[in-house]
Amino acid sequence: MNVVEKRVDAQDLARRLDALSRFLRVTGPYLPDGKLVTAHTLVERAGNRLSLSLDHTVVALAGSTGSGKSSLFNALARFKLSQVGVRRPTTGTAHACVWGPLEPANRLLDWIGVLPRQRFVRESALDGDDEVALHGLVLLDLPDFDSVERAHQLEVDRLLGLVDQIVWVVDPQKYGDRVLHRAYLSQFSSHAGVTIVVLNQADRLSPGDTEVVLTDLGRLLEEDGLGGTPVLASSAKQPGMLTDLREALETTVAARQAALRRLAADLDTVGEELAATIGPPAAEDEVDRSTVRQLADSLAASAGVPAVADATAQAYRQRATASTGWPLVRGLNRLRPDPLRRLHLSEKPATDAVSTDIVPRTSVPAAGAAQRSAVGISVRAVASRAAAPLPEVWAPALTTAARSRADDLPDALDRAVATTDLGVAKTPIWWRVIGALQWVLLATAVVGLGWLIVGYAVRVLGLPALDNPAVGAVPLPTLLLLGGLFAGMLLWLLLKPLIAAGSRRARRRAEQRLRSAVTDVARGYVVAPVREVLNAYAQAREALGVVRSE
């Protein structure tokens, strides 16, 4: 039974091939080479075939030892071109017969790999117009696919991947050969449009037996996935039994579609193979917030964010005390080392520094083994979360992407900490006001003390005593001295809870800013490479949809 094949549009085929090239381009860095070999081969072969003559149709006669394909080749050519004999293997190299001028087909035969001495031209002045219907046909007689010579088998496999149409030649004794059906015919299940099966040597059978064998052969082809493939009976010894095959070849040549149909079928096959690498679309938020938060938490611990936040709180208390404390003791605070400077953190970090600027390293404590382990677990969690909805073949690429910048993480985290504004560079206005008030109170105490000293000196010198006003029972100089000292110390004590609350706020603010910087590092060094792979997956999915004409 013949199948009516719809015409293959050359532009649509080119679009599908371009989509396959795009698929290979975006997946090449991420998928194993073994998954893409067939696709790469097809893209290269299709480019070569389409650049050569589309006016020629390359048809191969393929079959097992003793099937009579060489005799059939000679009968179709009406010349003895290919050696026929009882000693096996007979056909060791491919022979080609060209209907029409040889020169236009030479480049095509060079690409196929047919030796010049094995090329023949089917032209004769005696033919008249008998062979015009086959002009453009390049008929190949292939070696036996079951040859005892391994080189012959390899040559058959190579040529079967290059020809436009295959005519499988079987004989009544071995038409059900297991190797033929399992190793070859079933592998071409999507190529029914460019496949013909010929029951050769049918002259040995009665018409009834021929019909029985053809029916059984059709059943086997159905099992091979080649249902609807033309099945013809022929005989090289009976010219009349070549009519159906010759008409089928004339139809193929006239349509000038075999090369396009072969490539379209190959695209269908490759598309099915690659379908296993593409699954459902990746989620819009492939790496959810909780996963990024877990990663940021582990990176923050590794970067020493808690230690820097504590140092920021200590620095806040120390600087607040130095600005608002009792002037007689605030100098002691300035003698203490600044907690942030001990970590080599600047009061005014270079928050606008670009990636190429040199930023001094901090002295934040190095991450311990447990912290490094937590980072590794979180990085794997990002890859696992992204890989969850995708086919398993993408998991290694996502894991590799998540770890791709692991060696740069410590420096990136240190830089993030060093360039984060911790919010302690500016001196609050109320510090200045309280500081000025403390100095006023101290000056009041000094005035009172000075007044008392002068009064004492006057009495010692026997001079008239100074008039010391009093507030109630307390002399004013004494009130100024004690009041200034007491008020200054009281103000300092009252400010301690406020400073403590401010230090807690400073710690929270610093930790939030540091975590934000660390989260940016997490997104840039772990999540971004993963999303590059997911973006490639999305592009590959779109391209494969075009390849498969979905």
**Residue 441 host element (H or E):** helix 429-460
The amino acid occupying position 6 is K
pLDDT of residue 260: 95
Classify each residue of 27-65 as buried b or exposed e, where b means 16 or more C-beta atoms within 10 Å of its C-beta: beebbeeeebeebeebbebbeebeebbbebbbbbbbbbb
- If you average pLDDT over residues 254-260, what whole number do you get? 93
Q: Where are the alpha helices (DSSP H) in 224-285?
A: 243-255, 258-274
Residue 83, pLDDT above cutoff 70: no
- If you average pLDDT over residues 40-61, what whole number do you get? 94
Contact assessment for residue 444 and residue 478, using Cβ atoms and an 8 Å cutoff: no
pLDDT of residue 471: 63
Give the three-class secondary structure for 311.
helix
> Secondary structure of the chain: what % helix, strand, coil (to 5)?
60, 5, 30
Structure confidence at residue 298 as a pLDDT band (50, 70, 90): very high
For residues 303 and 130, the model is more confident at 303
Residue 266, pLDDT above cutoff 50: yes
pLDDT of residue 259: 95
Mean pLDDT of the chain: 87
pLDDT of residue 2: 46
Structure confidence at residue 488 as a pLDDT band (50, 70, 90): confident
pTM summary value: 0.81
Structure confidence at residue 468 as a pLDDT band (50, 70, 90): low
Structure confidence at residue 350 as a pLDDT band (50, 70, 90): low
- If you average pLDDT over residues 147-175, what whole number do you get? 92
For residues 126 and 169, the model is more confident at 169
How far is CA 201 from each of CA 59, 68, 174, 185, rounded to the nearest angstrom? Answer: 20, 7, 11, 20
476 by Cβ neighbours in 10 Å (0-12 / 13-18 / 19+) ranks as middle
Q: In 435-490, which ranges are E strands?
A: 470-471, 474-475
Q: For residues 289 and 305, what is the distance between their CA atoms, to the nearest angstrom?
A: 20
pLDDT of residue 88: 46
Q: Where are the alpha helices (DSSP H) in 161-200?
A: 178-179
Structure tokens at 436: 């000025």
pLDDT of residue 320: 86
- pLDDT tens, residue by residue, 10-39: 999 999 999 999 999 999 999 999 999 999
Residue 291, pLDDT above cutoff 60: yes
- pLDDT tens, residue by residue, 382-433: 999 899 889 999 999 999 999 999 999 988 998 888 888 888 878 889 888 9
Residue 352, pLDDT above cutoff 60: no
34 DSSP 8-state letter: H
Contact assessment for residue 498 and residue 315, using Cβ atoms and an 8 Å cutoff: no
